[in-house]
Every structure is written in C-alpha cells, then in structure tokens.
Amino acid sequence: MAITGEYVPSKAQWVREQVEQFEASNGQEANTLPGTDYPIVVITNVGAKSGYVRKTPLMRVERDGVYVAIASKGGAPEHPEWYFNFLAHPEVELQDGAERKTYRAELVEGEERDDLWRLSVDTWSTYASYQEKTDRQIPVFKLTPVD
C-alpha cells in the first residue's frame, strides 16, 4: 500500500536536498551518505503527531531482503523524530536505488536486536561510536517486506 498524504520535507536542508535529488534520479544519484561511498536508502513514513508524510535517508543495512533502521541520531541523547513515526505508523516505504517496496517496521529487543546491531556495525562501523556517545541504548528496527 502506498503512503499518501501531504509531504512535508525535513527541516534540515541537507536532508531535503538529498531526498529531492535521490527521488528525481530514481535512486541513481544522492544514494550515498554525503561525502562518502556508503550507500543509503530513503524511507517514507507518516508523522506520529502531524500525520504528514516524511522522508528519511538512512544507512543501507540489509540481509536477505530485510532492512535495518538504526535510530542513532548520531549518538544524541534523544531519539530521532522518525523513531516515534515508526512506532505510531509501522507501515513504511523503503526505496533502495530504483526499487521501492512497502515494509513493516518493528522495534526489536534481546538477541534479535543484538544480531541486527552487529550487522549494522559491521556495515557501518560509526554506529559503535554513536553508542559510546550516549547513555541510551540505540533502538534497532527490523523492516520486513509486506507481501
């Protein structure tokens, strides 16, 4: 099911510009973290409070068709806004390159969280330094395709 509604771009200029360029090129441009060669995906979600459509570029962490979203906010003491969006509206759209599908976001705990956290750190080691910067345990979401 496609996410519909009024799209309100991010307050952060770099996020707005990356999402715009990524979508305009069907995922062929602006598909890495700015200044790196680390791939990203863009996740479309619905705002928990506003109900507006939001778009978030996140690091590409994937295994066997299941994606992982790490709510690190760069190691800030608080969760990113999209964390609350995923909890309130777990159906999201994920675009990886030109491919766009619907996924269900699930906050994971315990051994499953530990496994997906290791996968994420192995994919992008900076996540480990983000965890060192904050007292909160960084949340991990598993994104499973909706058939």
Compute the average pLDDT of residues 31-49. Answer: 95
pLDDT tops 80 at residue 147: no
pLDDT tops 80 at residue 66: yes
pLDDT tops 70 at residue 134: yes
% of the chain at pLDDT higher than 90:
97
Tokens of 131: 């965890």
DSSP string, the chain: ----S-B---SSHHHHHHHHHHHHTTTSSS-B-TTS--BEEEEEEE-TTT--EEEEEEE--EETTEEEEE--GGG-SS--HHHHHHHH--EEEEEETTEEEEEEEEEE-HHHHHHHHHHHHHH-THHHHHHHT-SSPPPEEEEEE--
% of the chain at pLDDT higher than 70:
99
- Kindly state which CATH superfamily the domain 13-145 is placed in: Electron Transport, Fmn-binding Protein; Chain A (2.30.110.10)
Nearest partner of 126 among 57, 46, 38, 15, judged by Cα: 38
What pTM did the predictor assign?
Answer: 0.95
Q: What is the mean pLDDT of the chain?
A: 96
pLDDT tops 90 at residue 74: yes
pLDDT bin (cut points 50, 70, 90) of residue 25 is very high
pLDDT bin (cut points 50, 70, 90) of residue 1 is low
Compute the average pLDDT of residues 68-93. Answer: 97
Question: Rounded to an integer, what distance in angstroms lies between the CA atom of residue 86 and that of residue 23?
Answer: 21
Compute the average pLDDT of residues 132-144. Answer: 97
Question: Rounded to an integer, what distance in angstroms lies between the CA atom of residue 109 and that of residue 117?
Answer: 10
